Chain A
Amino acid sequence: MKHYSEEDLVLHYYGEDRRAAEVERHLQACERCAATYRDIAGTLAMIAAPEAPERGDQYGLEVWQRIRHKLPEQNRSWFFVLRSSFGAVLRSPFDSGIRSPFERRTQNAERRTAFALAASVAVLVVAAFVVGRVWPRTPPIKPAEQTASTDAARRVFVASVADHLDRSARVLTDIMDTAAAGDISAEQQWADDLLIASRLYRQDAVDAGEQSVADVLDEVERSLIEIVHSPSRIGAADLEQIRRRIDAAALLFKVRVLSDDLREREQTPDAARPRTSMRKTS
């Protein structure tokens, strides 16, 4: 008789197994699995959700008072500003959904400002067209266009690598935090998922001349490979060895510094271009 694993029975308890009826029939017939299931269910039934202390109706206001002075400047792209401006002009005066006279006045003011901005842009577009027609023809300035599109691509790259580094840092932190030798299959699965992305980003970094980013990604990749290729039920010695390598390379620190660095560059368009070297990390 085929028995169900603890994992299968946990999924059954939470109603997440696809063969619920089959498992149920088996539990009727198999005392061994039924006993394990009773243990699991009995233990989980003891764990009741903690009652969160009550928060009153004014709680939202309290939170707001605590955070309002800490709110940073939001990063708004030109595309967003233009889109919202044109959106404000094109919006029907009857579809606002705003009810109070104050809000209506505010919206009218917004619409006037937006209209002025949209009109200015339209005038500029027409002027540019006319000037373009009468101006002596010169070869298109390809390098400038190329720079703009390269910058956009670089910003996307910077943001993606920063996200990737944050995820990698989590796996590494998990490995560093694991209490003792044991099952690391969850971390391995996660590291495996990250590995392919890491290779692609490293290649992109090399192509983009971001050598310092490529170097850190290379180190991350080596640690991820080591984690993936370790036994799932890792022994204390193997675990300690992985940790020592992560520690010796100050890898977590480098990953966090680089991630912060990239986030900073992401916020500052001019700074999205490659830096010759990363901030000193050791």
Chain B
Amino acid sequence: MGGSKWGKLMRMRKLKRFIPLYIMAVPGMLYLFINNYMPLPGLVLAFKNYNARKGIWGSDWAGFNNFKYLFATQDAFIITRNTILYNLTFIVVNTMMAIAVAIILSELRTRGKKFYQSAILLPFLISSVIIGYLVFAFLSTENGFINNSILAPLGLERISWYIEKKYWPFILVLVNTWKNIGYNCIIYLSTIVGFDKGYYEAASIDGASKWKQITKITIPLLRPTIIMLVLMSIGRIFYSDFGLFYQVPQNSGALYSVTNTIDTYVYRGLLELGDITMSAAAGVYQSLVGFILVLGANLLVRKMDPENALF
């Protein structure tokens, strides 16, 4: 039928019908082109000796020199270590906390349940700047709650929190958990709510204790979800929460060795130090390794549970 006049007419009609749909797609596609695709050629900056007068394309090629310099510095090691170690800690702590809270919430019968869930989700909706203020209210050396209302009454010395490095790994993990726990437990909670009640009824008829039900039914049933979410987080392990690492320590120079991540390094290189090439090299490093990790994580997810793979 394709060659006949009738077929042609039908095809034309069909295509004509699609025109409005293409028009509807234009603004979104155009935006993604501008915001996500047009910058991509700029990645060559990492391979150039950037000269603002000559522009990106006019500047001389530097080959892999920028990367050589980057990896010759202590910075490359520190930012990679910080990014990965913090993320790994976040994954472990957040996953355990989220599962525990989701299980508790799913078992509670009180009306307070809704309130609890709302309360712990609230910090997730607050901007990093405000979170910086909240943390500052506790930690400020002169006026902070901890120095004034906890350490002083106990006769302990004040601590200059924003200069002392050793506390920050704990502070950042704590703030991250505080911020994300409500968000992280939502998916686990909705998964648990979807479980077949029959398992639990059968178990309690058999006299299984609550603890037994949790360890023998809930957690095994949650396993696919846990594995999937953890793998997805591992795929994002090269990216850090810029707001957390930049705003919460107040960009304090004394803390860089424990708060500098790839994202904050790229930011400072570009906008504070004017070291654009180093910043660009670190950015390319992040984009490439990050891309490989996302693909790898997805490959694993697809092997275990094709339903949940991204592609």
A and B form one complex: no
